[in-house]
Amino acid sequence: MSSSGKGESKSRSTSRGDLTEVADCVWEIARAGGMRVPGRVYADETLLPQILSDKGLEQVVNVAHLPGIVSYSLAMPDIHWGYGFPIGGVAATDPSEGGVVSPGGVGYDINCGVRLVASSMRREDVEDRIPELINALFRDVPCGLGSSGAIGKLSPRDVRDVMADGARWAVTRGYGTETDLDRTEEGGCLSSADPSTVGKRAIERGRSQVGTLGSGNHFIEIGYVDEVYDEARAAAFGLGLGRVTLMIHSGSRGLGYQVCDDYLDVMQHAVPKYGISLPDRQLACAPVESQEGRRYLSAMACAANYAWANRQVMMVLAKRSIAGVMMAGEAELGLRLVYDVCHNIAKMERHRVGDREKLLCIHRKGATRAFPGDHNGVPDCYRSAGQPVLIPGDMGTHSFVSAGTHTALDETFGSCCHGAGRVMSRTKARKAARGRNLAEELRRMGVYVTAEGKATLAEEMPSAYKNVSDVVDVMDRAGIARKVVRLKPLGVVKG
Amino acid sequence: MAERPHYTEIDHTADVGVEFCAHDLVSAFERAAACMFDLISPLNEIGSGWSRRVAVEGRSGDLEHLMIRWLSELLYMATSEQVLLSRFRIEELDVKGCGAGDGSRIVALVHGERINAACRTIRIEIKAPTYHYLRVEETREGWMVRVIFDT
């Protein structure tokens, strides 16, 4: 007896010979078999061998099988092997052509994302106080597996309010300001959220985790602007050379995992119901216009809103923590949100396809929105600069801030890479870290790190990641997102 | 303390996975659960003073679905009860849907220990077991199982 692979067609491997360079840094995988569109990968000769070393491209091909997919199955240069979608994958589906939504195209950590806070502090102001600052952040923002208790346990009704209102829920309770909402993707709230589509288990898991970092690759990082590539845009973002920054990376925690889990199960039933054939069951999906598709999108929006509230609360806790150590007011320190972006999400967005504008379902799985300044989704303060695109690197080297462009709108449905991208498995990283004192190595590189678990530190070691500069350069060369500044980490709290 | 299960860790870039061969289907499900919790924290360090009976249903004849439901249920139990599980004894396994419902079914008694963050080694957080590359298949050597977890 073997297991029953309902609704499956066969997955196929991809090699260098399957890639054709169609423009500088753009490679195409031709349609074959059940692919409905070609694949497109953004990479250069440096990154290609790493990209070809795992099953990421096979997953680009798999995603091209989704019903209603438009133009291309896209991969950003940080692409690596995920589950279902590759990490760094982007796919747009057209609901009017039977386009589907796939929970696997968003992932378990719904609206995992990054926010960046600028300040008027100079590197010299904080350099000697980094251990003190990082230890204070570690104390004040709960982190690690199952971390809880940042703001007290919420009632189920409160959780429903968080899911309906997103970051605004936090602001109305004294965590931040209206300006913060203006500088958050979608204003920190997807209006399509309907708490009645979220199950009791997810709500229960959400009761104690607002304002908590979690574990894995989540982090809080203090750094500074160590290189400016575009003076005008850096000024618009408030990121002057040598100024101190705060970056927060987290998502929707257990509530998001549960929403994904619950709806993946719903989709397992929807696949045969709608006669969908897929090469990987993790891509299970339903038409956007079906009851299953609509309910998933509403529940996913709830989890996305929870994540925005989570990062909003965490930012305020972190600001208070920094102000406490520096013995100065937050205003005096010039702490202000630059932007908040999500990188695991499916959203209904209007995009031009050929000569027509269409409402599409954009899946970004480990990819960041990168809109030009004149897009109505970008706040007025960034009209001339474009949307800030936040690209964290590994904890030892650099992170980048880029700006969205019209080319991104034309070629990638307004999407860009989301980080360096892993190149070494967690198992290999743990083996490579054996017998080494990573915290001490990082300290010698000028980065003070504190982590809830030693294993996390090993798995997240700098050599486990691609060189983020290579990744960001590909996006810049392809015109998808223009480099604005580079950030150098000084201290990191790992979950 | 429980024994650590035998498995091969899959070299997956972003996540973690396990692969093993079991002599029958009951031990395939039991060992899959043991592997998942061993990835979180070595089972030989986890006690078994806490216990609970768990029932899970899946689609009739769909072993992959039943495997994901089984592992997801245990993961939810661990999160909501704040326990680490270490022993898994399946009392009933019906894969053809002859049980109370119209699908497949597992009833099991599981043992574990309350999480005490101060003295417990948590290696990784597992968000969920995934269908990606999932395998629950009978071969000449026995039941081959492969599961990749989102971490």
Q: Can you give the residue ranges of every domain in chain B? A: 26-121
Q: What is the DSSP letter of A313?
A: H
Size of interface A-B (CB pairs under 8 A): 121
Q: What is the CATH number of the domain that holds A25?
A: 3.90.1860.10
Burial class (CB in 10 A: 0-12, 13-18, 19+), A236: buried
Is A133 within 8 Å of A325 (Cβ atoms)? Answer: yes
Contact A146 B115 (CB under 8 A): yes
Binned at pLDDT 50, 70 and 90, residue A3 comes out as very low
Tell whether A1 is covered by a domain.
no
Listed range (A130-139, A424-433, A473-482) with the worst mean pLDDT:
A424-433
Q: In the beta sheet, which residues pair with residue B93?
A: B106
B115 neighbourhood in chain A, CB within 8 Å:
146
Number of domains observed in the structure of chain A = 1
Task: Look at residue A129 and give its three-state secondary structure.
Answer: helix
Strand ranges across the sheet with A356-365: A19-23, A26-29, A39-42, A73-83, A85-93, A356-365, A344-353
Distance separating alpha carbons of residues A137 and A410, to the nearest angstrom: 41
No. of helices (H) and no. of strands (E), chain A: 16, 19
Q: What percent of chain A has pLDDT over 90?
A: 83
pLDDT tens, residue by residue, A128-178: 999 999 999 999 998 877 777 778 899 999 999 999 999 999 999 999 999
| Full residue range of the structural domain in which residue A155 is found | 19-494
B128 neighbourhood in chain A, CB within 8 Å:
108, 257, 260-261
Tell whether A168 is covered by a domain.
yes
ipTM over the 0.90 cut-off = yes
Predicted pLDDT at A217: 84
Q: What is the DSSP letter of A241?
A: T
Distance separating alpha carbons of residues A317 and A311, to the nearest angstrom: 10
Q: What percent of chain B has pLDDT over 70?
A: 93
Predicted pLDDT at A13: 76
Predicted pLDDT at B86: 95
CA-CA distances (angstroms) from residue A276 to A7, A8, A270, A348?
6, 8, 8, 21
Strand A26-29 and strand A19-23: the pairing is antiparallel
Please identify every residue of A annotated as catalytic.
418
Tell whether A6 is covered by a domain.
no
- Which residue did the predictor score with more confidence, A479 or A152? A479
Contact A261 B72 (CB under 8 A): yes
Predicted pLDDT at A65: 98
**CATH among 3.40.190.10, 3.55.40.20, 3.90.230.10, 3.55.10.10 for B26-121:** 3.55.10.10
Q: Out of A268, A425, A456, whose CB is closest to B13?
A: A425
Strand residue runs (E) in A98-165: 100-101, 113-122
Predicted pLDDT at A4: 41
Can you tell me the mean pLDDT for B7-18?
Answer: 88
In 10 A of CB A140, how many CB atoms? 18
pLDDT tens, residue by residue, B97-132: 654 556 899 999 999 999 875 456 778 889 999 999
Listed range (A14-18, A103-107, A242-246, A309-313) with the worst mean pLDDT:
A14-18
Binned at pLDDT 50, 70 and 90, residue A453 comes out as low
pLDDT tens, residue by residue, B29-62: 999 999 999 999 999 989 999 999 999 999 888 9
Tell whether A12 is covered by a domain.
no
User: E strand or H helix at B131, and its extent?
Assistant: strand B128-138
Distance separating alpha carbons of residues A399 and A468, to the nearest angstrom: 7
Residue B137: pLDDT above 70? Answer: yes
Predicted pLDDT at A436: 86
